Structures are given as C-alpha cells and as structure tokens.
Structure 1
C-alpha cells in the first residue's frame, strides 16, 4: 500500500527495569549454552510487577505527550498481544483506552501472533484512509512468565522479552514527527498455520495439550512430517515478495541510495540467518540492522519497538529511509518503509 502523501508516526517502546542476562540464564539452567549461542541474545527485559496492558499505557502516554496530542483525539486504539494480558474473558484494549482517557476511540484487540503490532499499523492506515475524525493509536504488550510460558524454552528460534510499545499514526501536517510512513505491505502463508499446531486436535480449553505452552512440540511434528525446508522455502518466497513490493510501493529501488537500513525482526540469530536474512538480502542492498540482541523477541511488538529505537538511537539522518520487516505465526509477513523527515516546526499542544 503506497501512501501519498505519507503518514506521520510517533513511536515508543517501554521496557521494565528488570533484566535477565544470558549469563544469569545459563547459571540458572534456564537455557543451555548451545541454545544461547544460537539465539545470540545478551539479555531479556523481565517485568515482575507491571502487567502487559499497563506497559502499553506507559508507552502510549509517552507517545501522546511527545506528539502533543490529547488522548481524546484518538479515533482507533488497536492493541496486539501474544500472551495473557492479566485477566480472563476481558478486553485489554478497552482498559488501555480508559486508562489513557481515549473515550472516543474504538478499542480493537488483535490476535495476529508476533505480527500483531505490524498489522495494527496497517489497520490504522486503512482507518485514516476512510475516517477523518482523528489519529489511530497502535499498542502492543506482552509479559512471559512461568508457569505458562518459559521465556527461553517455550519456542525454538527465539527467547521472549517483556515490553510495551505504542505507535501513533496520523495525517502528516508538516509539523515535527518521529517518522514518515511511505508504504506498508503484508503477505500471508496460511498453509503454515500447522507449524504451531502440529498433529494436535483442537481442544476444549487452554493448556489441555500441555501444562505449559510448548511451541517446540508442534514444530517438531511439522519438521518430522513435512520437513524444515517446507517452511524455509515458503517463508523465503513470501519475505522476498513482501520486501520487493514494499520498496516499489514506496518508490524505492533495491539499491536506492536513500534506503539506509533494512531492519530484521527480533528473533534468534540462527533463525534470522536461516529464514529472514537471505530473502531480505536478495530483495535489497541496504545495510541489514538487528536491534533485538538486548531485548529478545517482544511478542507482538517487534516491528513497533524497532520503529521506536530507530528514532531513539538516531539511526537515520534527515531524508534517509529504512525498511522494517516482521513476521508472525500463521504465517504473516509485513514490511514498512519509513523515513526521517526534514527539519520541521514543533507541534502546538492539543
């Protein structure tokens, strides 16, 4: 989807102060040395006492303040998550909207696995295309605690860090903003949903297949019955197609000098080496950037956290572009192209 004119983005990620280093995880036998080496993380943020929706609220408050926008001007609040949000049979998006004072927003919950935050941005774009009533706010938050989720061992190819993110999506008014969004592109491979289900039938309640969420078991079933190359071949094709289409929609070529970085998801190093980086490098000559070594995979918020850190750490000079790639179980792959705007006047507060 090409955005002409581009939309304005303000992005923030909130990490809890607590961390578990890989050395601490090894000492506690939470992870073995070979797995730690394959993952390549240095630490994971750990939230013991801040629930996921409250992490999202903290990130969102910072975004709204920095954008000089009142919560009452938000028309859509889309919240994405992977894991438990703090209560059962309850709506975390409505809680977040209420905490922020976004009483006119339509709260929507997204269950798109690890691509939820990226899909939230795409839905926000669609909303702004047909509704002139206000900005859209996309939040994500996940916390991975035992006994239901072992942050190092529940899944292959990633370890899970706790974080909340917020991205404000609005029309560009020519005033100061973090980033400009030029294109967003999504491709799906629903034939790969079985990778997270394996040979399991559909059960009647949570955790009936195992007392702890265990994504490794269905993945072993998938590899045994279909072969790892089935996933790799499909993922490579969809990722390369997604990246190439997103660059074209943004009006960029694969070797465009304006394109400074191509940003990876926050998966383990081996998983990205095998599944994500090869098709990304085939689709663009931009320098590949990995921002997840100290955060781990932050559930539904990888792409959104990377948008925030591109800004916070000054990766882009004015006028430079970045493509940010993400994927999630199901499978769905999304890429966005953003740029750092030229110098602009500050925004007046709402």
Structure 2
C-alpha cells in the first residue's frame, strides 16, 4: 500500500546486555555445536518482563520524536512469545506507562513481521481521520522463560531479548514511510504448526516450544520443494508491489532490514533474486544480538542511524516473515539526520 505524508518520527530501543556464546557454552546453557553456526552472542534480559522493555523503548521514542503523549492516538504492541499472566493484555500496561491516554491499545500476534504489519495498520488508522496525529508501535520479547530454550529450540537459531518502539506521525519525521504490503500464504499454514495438537494449548500443559520440530513435522499438505516454490512466488510479487508503490527501483535500495540470522544463505535466499548482495543486509549486527522476534527491524534501523550509515535520500527496504505464514515488505526514505544521532 502506498502512503503519502506518513513519517517515522522516532525509533526507541531497550536492548539488554549481550552474553557471548562462549560464555553460555561454558555455563552449560548452550551446546558447543552452536558455535559453528555463525552466532556470536545473544541479548539476555534476565528477569526483566518483556512489556517493561517495550515501555522503556516507548518512553525513548517519545523523547526522540519531539511528540507529546497527547499527540498519540493509537498504540499497537506486537510480540512473539509470552508477555505475562494469561488473560492479561500487555498493551494496556504499556499504554498506561507511556502515553497514559484513553486511546485504542491493540495487541498483534504476527510473529517476526509484527512491526511491518503494525505499521501498515497504524498508517491506515492515521489516514482515516484528519484529527489523528501519531501512532506508537512497540515490540518486546524475553525468551528466558521455561517454555523455550533460547539456544536449543532450533539448531542454527539463537534467540535474543529486547524491546523497540517507533512513532508514526502525519506531522514530521526523519524518514517517510513510502509503502508497506503484508501478505498471508494460507497454503503454507502448516509449516510452523507441525504435528502438535491444537488442544489443549501447549503452554497450558507446560509443553516446551521446539521450533525445529515444528518446522520439519509438517502435516503433509505441501512438500518442502512445493513450499519453496510457493514462498518464492509470493516473495517476488511482494517485492515488485512494494517497489512500485514506493515509486522506486531495486537499484535505489541502500540497505535491507530483516529478521536476524547468522547464516549468509538466509540472506542470499531473499536478496540474490533481487540482484542484491548480502552486504546490504544486517548479518553481522544480528549475529551479536540473537533473533529478537519482532524487534529485529527497528533495532537494526536504530543501529544504522547511530552508526551514521544512512544519509538523506537513502531508501531502506524492510522485510519479515512470520509463522502462519505471513510476509511483509516495506520501504522508508531517509529525509534528515535525526537529532538524537549525536
């Protein structure tokens, strides 16, 4: 979807300390075989609740954006793992401790593509009424709980903790949101469901999340080869559409933000068909954080800004894939150097 006059006014992050993989191996938390996969470290939040990291990022984004709490007309919170007590909705807690206004606070469960899906919804919300000014999107996860093992849930994957926030505004911003397109691929729904029963839900009986088993134990509706062809076709169409909506060519892309990965083959799968080298991505940055769920994209954008790696006129493409299967692609154009970069 093409947007006009929707700006990214600020980005906020709350990233806990890195724990090197060698240290995790020495403690017995991580198998030594993970040292060969490319990961270098993981962000580990300890006992800090995920919503509290979202709150810290939300407070920072308000300060950086130059907007007051009264400017915010919507809060969206997205996550990939448990946030707190069952039957409790973290978005209202985050709202209370950031903008503290009687506005809609909505939770999204879109997995790793939660930020982009949220950005598309938030932009539409802002465009629907001239009286609306800004929307806050927060992301957060702490994978240190007993139902998942950040180092062993999938060989080749290390999970990191963190929270991020973004403020979309119709008033001003250091970047302009040009386009976002989100897709669902129903034919691939079974890929991350695996053979686990739907009832009773795994978390209610203490069943651990095993991402590797879920990714390989497919119900048999499609073969891995068929899944690759279906996903490739949707990805190609998604890229073409988001570039058309943004009014640019693939050669205009300066950098690519994506879910964290330690293996260059992951980036080659997405970027090589576009004629882009893996160096456009954030491979090394991700290796030192772990895969932080929905927080990877904004953490990567904050990193590029802080390093001075983006200049006015640059175009940044974002993509993410979530279980279900969901895909989102977006493009932002850098307008100015944010004042907080100093």
**Aligned equivalent of 2:215, options 205, 219, 227:** 219
> Structure 1 residues 231 and 51 mapped into 2: Cα distance closer, same or farther (>3 Å)?
same
How far has the Cα of 1:296 moved from its partner?
A: 1.1
**Aligned equivalent of 2:281, options 271, 278, 289:** 289
How far has the Cα of 1:57 moved from its partner?
A: 0.5
**2:149 is matched with which residue?**
150
Structure 1 segment 62-211 matched on structure 2, within 5 A: 62-131=60-129, 132-173=131-172, 177-207=173-203, 211=207
Distance of 1:332 and 1:171 partners within structure 2: 27
SS in structure 2 opposite 1:133? coil
**Aligned equivalent of 1:235, options 205, 224, 231:** 231
Contact 2:257 2:301 in 1 (8 A): no
> Structure 1 residues 321 and 222 mapped into 2: Cα distance closer, same or farther (>3 Å)?
same
Contact 1:264 1:277 in 2 (8 A): no
**1:315 is matched with which residue?**
309
What are the Cα deviations for residues 14-41 of structure 1, in whole angstroms up to 9, with x where unaligned? Answer: 1013x32111122234333443322x22
**1:338 is matched with which residue?**
332
Normalising by structure 2, report the TM-score.
0.90
**2:249 is matched with which residue?**
253
How far has the Cα of 1:172 moved from its partner?
A: 4.1
Q: Which runs of 4+ in 1 moved over 6 A?
A: none
Distance of 1:117 and 1:32 partners within structure 2: 31
SS in structure 1 opposite 2:218? helix
Flag structure 2 segments of 5+ consecutive residues without an equivalent: none
- State the number of aligned residues: 336
> Structure 1 residues 3 and 308 mapped into 2: Cα distance closer, same or farther (>3 Å)?
same
**2:44 is matched with which residue?**
46
Distance of 1:338 and 1:45 partners within structure 2: 27
SS in structure 2 opposite 1:252? coil
Contact 1:72 1:105 in 2 (8 A): no
Distance of 2:334 and 2:100 partners within structure 1: 28
Contact 2:50 2:83 in 1 (8 A): yes
Distance of 1:157 and 1:251 partners within structure 2: 37
Contact 1:64 1:70 in 2 (8 A): yes
Contact 2:133 2:171 in 1 (8 A): no
Normalising by structure 1, report the TM-score.
0.88
How far has the Cα of 1:156 moved from its partner?
A: 4.9
> Structure 1 residues 202 and 80 mapped into 2: Cα distance closer, same or farther (>3 Å)?
same
Flag structure 1 segments of 5+ consecutive residues without an equivalent: none
What are the Cα deviations for residues 147-190 of structure 1, in whole angstroms up to 9, with x where unaligned? Answer: 111011223552211000100001144xxx33221111222212
SS in structure 2 opposite 1:292? helix
Distance of 1:99 and 1:59 partners within structure 2: 11
> Structure 1 residues 289 and 43 mapped into 2: Cα distance closer, same or farther (>3 Å)?
same
Distance of 1:70 and 1:285 partners within structure 2: 39
**2:5 is matched with which residue?**
5
SS in structure 2 opposite 1:161? coil
Contact 1:321 1:339 in 2 (8 A): yes
Contact 2:7 2:174 in 1 (8 A): no
Q: Point out the more displaced range, 145-154 or 225-234.
A: 225-234
Distance of 2:24 and 2:30 partners within structure 1: 6
Contact 2:113 2:319 in 1 (8 A): no
**1:31 is matched with which residue?**
30
SS in structure 1 opposite 2:178? strand
